[in-house]
Amino acid sequence: MASCFSFSIISQTNMNKNLTFSPREQNIIDIAALTAKGDLSKMKIALNTGLDAGLTINQIKEILVHLYAYCGFPRSIRGLQTFIEVLNERKAKGITDVLGAEASPIQEQRSKYERGREILGKLMGTPQDGPKTGYSAFAPQIDTFLKEHLFADIFERDVLTYSERELVTISVLSSIGGVDPMLNAHLKICLNVGLTPDQLKQFIGIIKSTVGKKEAKAAQKILDDVLKNRKI
């Protein structure tokens, strides 16, 4: 299992050697950020653009489901409702959008906790087998929810790659603000899964144009710290 996971990370790293985001990747950022902010009018535009750029229906659904773990069910469900409206409007215009692949079945005998712990360790580049500290020790149930649900139930679904899921995550965290430690951690994960410093700098520019200067400035400060302290 570990070797298969390592191969997956390497494969995704090779896919992200480009220095700039593709239109498809930019639309992932836009859709996630605007959903997190609740800007439904701009989100409808981003959803249309995303479909036109090659995102499938199932990939966009996966984006909107994934982000609930970071900004809650209300934003996620409102995003899904808006996506239904967009699809109905496009269908009425005679546009047939590609449904895309469903998530592959999980063929795994280990517990979800063990699988989620391994996935988080690979993403962060450090084993997660030490004693619980901080919030995990204070509220062990949240550690269980994170390992079993977020990093097993959600991250194991292969409709999106790990790098795409991290783009969704940092887009949400940058947009809602006030979660600096988590954004710091996920920017580091972005580098671990193959996104480049130049791409993350471009990400800040997209957040600035899509969400606002305040959010971009705050995210830039955290990114500067991550890149300054990066071990190459």
- Spatial distance between the Cα atoms of 183 and 107, rounded to a whole number of angstroms: 31
Asked if the structure places residue 35 within a domain, the reply is: yes
Domain range for 98 is 19-104+143-228
What is the total count of domains within the chain? 1
- For 154-204, the DSSP string reads ITT-TTS-HHHHHHHHHHHHHHH-S-HHHHHHHHHHHHHTT--HHHHHHHH
- Spatial distance between the Cα atoms of 143 and 165, rounded to a whole number of angstroms: 20
- What would the two tokens of residue 4 be? 């298969």
Asked if the structure places residue 53 within a domain, the reply is: yes
pLDDT per residue over 72-110, tens digit each?
A: 999 999 999 999 999 999 999 999 999 999 999 998 889
Radius of gyration for the chain, computed over Cα atoms and rounded to the nearest angstrom: 17
pLDDT at position 2 is 40
pLDDT at position 132 is 86
Asked if the structure places residue 2 within a domain, the reply is: no
Asked if the structure places residue 128 within a domain, the reply is: no
Asked if the structure places residue 95 within a domain, the reply is: yes
pTM, 2 dp: 0.90
Asked if the structure places residue 59 within a domain, the reply is: yes
CB 169 within 8 A of CB 70: yes
Low-confidence ranges of the chain (pLDDT < 70): 1-18, 232
CATH code for the domain of 191: 1.20.1290.10
| Residue written as token pair 């836009």 | 30
Asked if the structure places residue 169 within a domain, the reply is: yes
pLDDT at position 126 is 86
Half-sphere exposure of 142 (CA within 13 A, CB side): 9
